[in-house]
Chain A
Amino acid sequence: SQQGEEDPQALSIQEGENATMNCSYKTSINNLQWYRQNSGRGLVHLILIRSNEREKHSGRLRVTLDTSKKSSSLLITASRAADTASYFCATGGYSGGGADGLTFGKGTHLIIQP
């Protein structure tokens, strides 16, 4: 079963606007990761936020994490056509040396209109 659920499932915005997508998960986590997938570059890691962090930035990306609500958000500022892709949140990824496979949500499909 899928741990994370992204919202919305699809999002279409104009180039230059900001895009926000959300992720909710069910069980307690050690960290949460966001990945991007497009046909050109495959599945690529964007950012990792640990459970003791509330916010993290990387270039035009801003991720927040609220462990009390079991939710995370990804903000992409000043969107570009190249940001058109599917975005997935993933949980798991570290358990102190044991099984650390990721559990992905269904993703948000983002379309940037020129």
Chain B
Amino acid sequence: EAGVAQSPRYKIIEKRQSVAFWCNPISGHATLYWYQQILGQGPKLLIQFQNNGVVDDSQLPKDRFSAERLKGVDSTLKIQPAKLEDSAVYLCASSFDSGTPHEQYFGPGTRLTVT
């Protein structure tokens, strides 16, 4: 089966510019997550969607970050305006809600460099 797709793979922007990342989860996975991974650290959850509704966005810096999942499939994460500390890899993950503890499937990530 096809994995989680993300684009672009790399992005370099200047501070105060805006940027958007796209994610297409595994077919049939209702739950989609965005994580931020800063160099040398583990991934940190930004937002979780269940179908097209937000389940958890408690760690999303809402003054500059936004995300949507129209039609409950693809998702877009946006940063506007970007700061130097936003340099990180942005990982998208999806999972099948089986009603029991389950694994998450991660995409290759988008490496963002803010200069």
Contact = CB atoms under 8 A, between A and B. Distances in A.
B56 interface: yes
A105 B42 contact: yes
B101 A102 contact: no
A93 B106 contact: no
Contacts of B95: 100
A102 B46 CA distance: 10
A4 B31 CA distance: 23
Given A30-B101, A93-B102, A101-B33, A42 B43 contact: no
Contacts of A2: 41-42, 44
Contact of B43 (A30, A45, A102): A102
B101 A98 contact: no
A103 interface: yes
A100 B108 CA distance: 21
A30 B105 CA distance: 19
Interface string A9-48: 0000000000000000000001101010000001111001
A103 to B, nearest CB: 7
25 contacts: A2-B42, A42-B91, A42-B106, A42-B107, A43-B106, A45-B103, A48-B101, A88-B42, A88-B43, A90-B42, A93-B101, A94-B100, A94-B101, A98-B55, A99-B55, A100-B31, A100-B55, A100-B95, A101-B35, A101-B56, A102-B43, A102-B45, A102-B104, A104-B43, A107-B42
Interface of A: 2, 4, 30-31, 33, 35, 42-45, 48, 50, 88, 90, 93-94, 97-107
Interface of B: 31, 33, 35, 40-45, 48, 55-56, 91, 93, 95, 97, 99-109
